[in-house]
């Protein structure tokens, strides 16, 4: 009888329940919660995930703390932050997004976006130009308050 450890599987298929941290090649997850995921491809449906680091990340009807991916897709969900080369967001809300290109569908809201190109019908509250103007205005206002106090 040898004392060898069994290697972890490289593919996790649909699961239900709760997981702490997952580190696999491909993950398909449905109905549950995961603390964090590091994988090549991630597909999550009806899930709550703390964070995703992947080449391709797809979330449908879920909530995610953050996504770092080459390709990120969010449908009918909510994400606090996305850093991606290409992002596709449809009928979802994203608090902060940094991406090379962003493609959006209807009923999409993005609070803060920094992207080279944004296509689609998203409602973006603050892009990089708005953030720059807001920062300049706030800086001038604080400088004025400081001057009047002296």
Query: Which residues are CB-neighbours of 111 under 8 A, at least 6 positions away?
Result: 93, 94, 95, 96, 124, 125, 126
pLDDT at 131: 79
pLDDT at 1: 44
Residues of the chain with pLDDT under 50: 1-11, 14
CA distance 44 to 72: 12
pLDDT in tens, 46-90: 999 999 999 999 999 999 999 999 999 999 999 999 999 999 999
pLDDT at 66: 96
Where along the chain do its domains lie? Answer: 11-149
Are 6 and 20 contacting, i.e. CB atoms less than 8 angstroms apart? no
pTM above the 0.85 mark? no
- Beta strands 123-127 and 11-12, pairing class: unpaired
């Amino acid at each position: 009888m040898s004392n060898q450890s069994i290697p972890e599987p490289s593919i996790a298929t649909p699961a239900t329940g709760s997981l702490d941290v997952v580190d696999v090649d491909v993950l398909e997850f449905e109905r549950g919660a995961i603390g964090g995921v590091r994988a090549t491809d991630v597909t999550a449906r009806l899930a709550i995930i703390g964070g995703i680091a992947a080449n391709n990340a797809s979330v449908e009807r879920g909530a995610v703390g953050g996504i770092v991916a080459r390709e990120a897709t969010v449908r009918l969900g909510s994400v606090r932050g996305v850093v991606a080369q290409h992002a596709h967001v449809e009928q979802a809300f994203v608090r902060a997004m940094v991406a090379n290109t962003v493609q959006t569908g209807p009923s999409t809201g993005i609070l803060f976006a920094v992207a080279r190109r944004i296509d689609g019908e998203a409602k973006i509250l603050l892009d990089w130009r708005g953030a720059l103007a807001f920062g300049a205005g706030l800086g001038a206002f604080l400088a004025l308050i400081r001057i009047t106090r002296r």
